[in-house]
Amino acid sequence: MEILTRVAEMKERAREIVREGSSIGVVPTMGYLHDGHMSLIRRARRENEVCVATIFVNPTQFGPNEDLDKYPRDPDADRAKCMEAGVDFLFTPSPEDIYPPGYQTYVTVEDLSGPLCGASRPTHFRGVATIVLKLFNICLATRAYFGLKDYQQFQVIRTMARDLNLETQVIGLPTVRESDGLAMSSRNAYLSPDQRKQALCLNEALEEASALMKSGEKDPRKYLTAMEDRIIREPQARIDYLNLVDPESLEELKEVNGRGLAAIAVFIGATRLIDNRILSP
């Protein structure tokens, strides 16, 4: 495995690979890798001649009072995991190289960036779309892999790729969970043992919603109430949002007819966690 830290270097290596006619599978991450990330890396490894993992804690997707400075990092463990998974290139650029002085270009995917996480993190998806487009261009990604745990992010990126006629094929893979159902997340590291137990309310709330869908419930308010009731049982849980939306447009459902996306964000203490589930009858 080669570790590259410079944009120019990564781009040059990617050009060589493309010249040879090989495909490049890219997995963008912010590091502190867990099995969710590794599922993306394994898939990229299988489907492409060359596999690139990127680790970059992207400042432009964090709001002013968010956890950029304390975001968990473990470069040695990340390196070992990537090596073991057969990653060919680990790209870990610096913020100064990605956003040099004078940097001023951002990508906005308009409607999809507004609801859900966009409501409480107004500049988040602009930062995400921008860094992902830059990484596609730097790594000359044939395919890129994203987790459906960040469902809205996936829709934003997929739409950006479509709207801007990108060459990169965007692939979404299922959420990997701990054995008790908690969605894996680097931010789970912030939780105390007691908070870790309380965090199960996210997945369990989604299960309540799933059961309502199976029972044929048509009133979206019933779903929201059921999810809320489950979450507020936990003393340290504070709801950022919970919603039932159309899985493509992310617009709120007025009536449940067919598929829906239940999406939630909950603070457990100071840690904001998200989860979602596609519900189908």
Bin 196: left if φ > 0, else alpha if -120 < ψ < 50, else beta.
alpha
Residues 90-109 that bind ligand AMP (CB under 6 A): none
From 124, 149, 158, 277, residue interacting with ligand AMP (rule: CB under 6 A): 149
Helix segments in 110-199, DSSP class H: 117-120, 124-139, 151-163, 193-198
Rounded least distance, CB 181 to ligand AMP, Å:
11
Q: How far apart, in whole angstroms, are the C-alpha atoms of residue 122 and residue 23?
A: 35
Question: Binding string, 184-203, against ligand AMP, x = CB under 6 A?
Answer: xxx-----------------
Q: How many residues make contact with ligand AMP (CB under 6 A)?
A: 16
Nearest residue (CB) to ligand AMP, 48 versus 175: 175
Return the residue matching tokens 């493309």.
18
From 26, 40, 201, 242, residue interacting with ligand AMP (rule: CB under 6 A): 40
Rounded least distance, CB 183 to ligand AMP, Å:
5
36 binds ligand AMP (CB under 6 A): yes
The gap from C-alpha 173 to its chain's centroid, in whole angstroms, comes to 10
Token pair, residue 209, equals 């919603």
- CA dihedral of 14, 18, 24, 29, whole degrees rounded to 10: 20
Rounded least distance, CB 148 to ligand AMP, Å:
7
From 25, 118, 147, 247, residue interacting with ligand AMP (rule: CB under 6 A): 147
From 4, 17, 37, 89, residue interacting with ligand AMP (rule: CB under 6 A): 37
Tell me the three-class secondary structure of 96-116, residue by residue: HHHCCCCCCCCCCCCHHHCCC
79 binds ligand AMP (CB under 6 A): no
From 10, 99, 140, 150, residue interacting with ligand AMP (rule: CB under 6 A): 150
26 binds ligand AMP (CB under 6 A): no
From 14, 24, 29, 99, residue interacting with ligand AMP (rule: CB under 6 A): 29
Nearest residue (CB) to ligand AMP, 149 versus 272: 149
Residue pair 7/96 in contact (Cβ under 8 Å)? The answer is no
Q: How far apart, in whole angstroms, are the C-alpha atoms of residue 72 and residue 61?
A: 16
From 7, 30, 156, 226, residue interacting with ligand AMP (rule: CB under 6 A): 30
Residue pair 224/208 in contact (Cβ under 8 Å)? The answer is no
Question: What's the one-letter identity of residue 182?
Answer: L
Nearest residue (CB) to ligand AMP, 45 versus 212: 45
Rounded to whole angstroms, what are the CA distances from 223 to 143, 263, 274?
36, 11, 17
Which secondary structure element, helix H or strand E, spans residue 279, and what is its range?
strand 271-279
Rounded least distance, CB 277 to ligand AMP, Å:
13
Give ∠ CA 184-268-54 in degrees, rounded to 5.
35
272 binds ligand AMP (CB under 6 A): no
Catalytic residue IDs:
37
Residues that bind ligand AMP (CB under 6 A): 29-30, 36-37, 39-40, 146-147, 149-150, 175-176, 183-186
